Amino acid sequence: MEKRDSQPGGKNPEKETIKTALGKAMAICAKSEQCSNDIRSKLESWGLSAPDSISVIDKLIRENFINDQRYAESFVRDKYRHNKWGKLKIAAHLRSKNLDPEVISNALSLLDDDQYRQMIADTLNAHRKLIKSKNKYDLKGKLLRFGLSKGFESQIIYDILNEID
């Protein structure tokens, strides 16, 4: 007796799962910018094995659905403009996505240093109006902690706070 596939039409269920996952991943990438790490975790949460996830991600990269450099540049622009994050906080978030350090530094280099410094000064001045302090020392301490929490470099914060005097 001849052995038959248990699936009608002789389809391989594993290939169908990969094809479905590829389609879903393409739809996600078409809607918003994604990095390879985010898609990898989504694929694995859908039950794909690591080798199958890698093959799907490779196909997405070849067809330009995923581009980590483009993702990093978009992430930097968005967090800088909309959230007023500093370079340190942005870089930390990108590192948590397992992006290449060179990709991160290239994306951060797109920020203009003069505009970046002005944004920090504006952010600190806006926050200065909202806080209460006993004296200048207390005010500078609160502004320093706020600036550090936003991911600004401490040396730039010090320089700006010394200009406030």
Classify the phi-psi angles of 47: left when phi > 0, otherwise alpha if psi is within -120 to 50, otherwise beta. Answer: left
Residue-level pLDDT at 18: 87
Residue-level pLDDT at 35: 95
Q: What tens digit of pLDDT does each residue of 106-149 get? A: 999 999 999 999 999 999 999 999 999 899 899 999 999 999 99
pTM: 0.86
CA distance 156 to 73: 23
CA distance 27 to 155: 43
* Average of per-residue pLDDT across 70-80: 96
Q: What tens digit of pLDDT does each residue of 91-108 get? A: 999 999 999 999 999 999
The number of beta carbons lying within 10 Å of the beta carbon of residue 144 is 17
CA distance 13 to 149: 49
Residue-level pLDDT at 13: 66
